[in-house]
Amino acid sequence: MARIRFQQTLIVLLSLAAFFRVGDAGCPIASLGRRSLKQAPVPAQPALIFGFYDLTCPTLNSIIDTRMRFWVLQDIRTPGKVLRLFFHDCFAAGCEASILLNSTAEFAAEKDAPISVTLDKFQVIEDIKSEVETACPGIVSCADILALAAAKAVELAGGPILVTETGRRDGVVSYLAGATASMPLSTQKIPDLEAMFVQAGLDINDLVILSGAHTIGEVHCSNFADRFDPAANSPFGDVSFGQELLAFCTRNGAGDIATLNLKTFMDLQTPNSFDISYYVNLIIGRGVMTSDQVLFNDLRTQPMVREFAANRTLFFESFQASMLKMGRLHVLTGTNGVIRKQCGVYP
Ligand SMILES: *[C@@H]1O[C@H](CO)[C@@H](O)[C@H](O)[C@H]1NC(C)=O
Ligand SMILES: *[C@@H]1O[C@H](CO)[C@@H](O)[C@H](O)[C@H]1NC(C)=O
């Protein structure tokens, strides 16, 4: 218990640090303010809290629960896809729902970046938002709805019941280039993956922990095609597993391997259960993407993979802590940002 409390204190400190960095880097007025900090300090905006909407939208959690259950019944792949939307939102410019915005005549949005092409289930968030607008108009941000839906996704896939902070507000811009520059790639190895996580405001432990989300969801052959190229030096530890994947990815001819035509599960043992089999698979050389398998192959991260593969409680507790930490990245709170009426529509 003491350890968890310490971890959370540390996370609060880290998130404050991240908050000030954003102000400095992102907003020209804030950087002017910084230069003349002694004369005119920029007032700090409030941090996220638990239960931000308890009084203003008491039915929020039950709407999230009901609608997510409905959508999971329609499609069992919903949890993986909604969780992925949240990751993509937080990594590119912070958890402010910019991933949900369409491109405009002037600007190409995050959603249209090549890395976003396979994102899905925008309509789930839009559906929840419309129910929430009926119950409590103009109160709840799309950024918070996405965070709460992602937590519910983990729960409905059999993972931990996650607590989620709220109080985020929605951004008013979305840039394709931001998404491209922010997202880790499936072909990257530890040093590059770590750099992407650090750039986002996370660390190498979060990399190992949040990659555990690959215990659910699907992956296109194009995301691990690099591993069939001997020159790429990313062979499958389990050779016959690699051969099975190659046979699957080339069953309609070799051309499909680099397209988005074919996909398989990320965790072939229990594809729709949020559990520790992702880490078990890494140990036996059955990681699917390069960015998965390197978590075990690299000696810096291997001990953590072994610990999670042996201790579900430890993985679940760690996942909770990393989700809170990620959920605080570059958030807009207080008087910053807006509450959108529809998540895909510019305010
Ligand atoms: C698993 O992790 C939990 C949480 O950190 C810890 O309390 C427990 O002792 C661990 N179990 C084993 C068998 O190591
Ligand atoms: C966003 O674009 C998609 C097609 O790319 C369209 O179906 C959807 O209606 C648009 N959403 C909004 C809010 O304009």
- Return the residue whose CA atom lies nearest to atom 4 of ligand 1: 314
The average pLDDT across 99-113 equals: 94
| pLDDT for the residue 41 | 61
88 as an active site residue: the answer is: yes
**Residue type for position 25:** A
How far does the centroid of ligand 2 lie from the alpha carbon of residue 171, in Å?
18
The tokens describing 272, both together, are: 């729709």
How far does the centroid of ligand 1 lie from the alpha carbon of residue 131, in Å?
40
Of 82, 88, 80, which is closest to residue 64 (Cα–Cα)? 82
Q: How confident is the model at residue 40 (pLDDT cuts 50, 70, 90)?
A: low
What distance in Å separates the CA atoms of residue 156 and residue 161, rounded to the nearest whole number? 9
What distance in Å separates the CA atoms of residue 117 and residue 42, rounded to the nearest whole number? 38
Residue in the structure block whose two tokens are 């929020």: 60
Pairing of strands 165-166, 49-50: antiparallel
164: helix, coil or strand?
A: coil
- Return the residue whose CA atom lies nearest to atom 13 of ligand 1: 311
pLDDT tens-digit readout, 213-239: 999 999 999 999 999 999 989 999 999
Nearest bound ligand to the CA of residue 117: 2
What distance in Å separates the CA atoms of residue 180 and residue 347, rounded to the nearest whole number? 24
User: Could you tell me the domains of the chain?
Assistant: 2-184 (1.10.520.10), 190-323 (1.10.420.10)
| pLDDT for the residue 6 | 34
| pLDDT for the residue 268 | 87
- Residues contributing to the annotated binding site: 89, 94, 98, 110, 184, 214-215, 267, 270, 275
Instruction: Determine contact, residues 42/225, Cβ cutoff 8 Å.
Output: no
Residue 102 CA, closest ligand 2 atom number: 1
Residue 342 CA, closest ligand 2 atom number: 13
165: helix, coil or strand?
A: strand
Higher pLDDT, 13 or 175: 175
Percent of the residues in the chain that have a pLDDT greater than 90, as a whole number: 83
Of 327, 305, 316, 341, which is closest to residue 87 (Cα–Cα)? 327
How far does the centroid of ligand 1 lie from the alpha carbon of residue 306, in Å?
13
- Return the residue whose CA atom lies nearest to atom 9 of ligand 2: 344
Of the listed ranges 12-16, 71-75, 118-122, 270-274, the one predicted with least confidence = 12-16
Residue in the structure block whose two tokens are 């997202």: 183
220: β partners? 263
pTM equals: 0.88
pLDDT tens-digit readout, 157-208: 999 999 999 999 999 999 999 999 999 999 999 999 999 999 999 999 999 9
Please tell me which residue in 88, 121, 169, 286 is annotated as part of the active site: 88
| pLDDT for the residue 255 | 85
pLDDT tens-digit readout, 271-289: 999 999 999 999 999 999 9
Nearest bound ligand to the CA of residue 345: 2
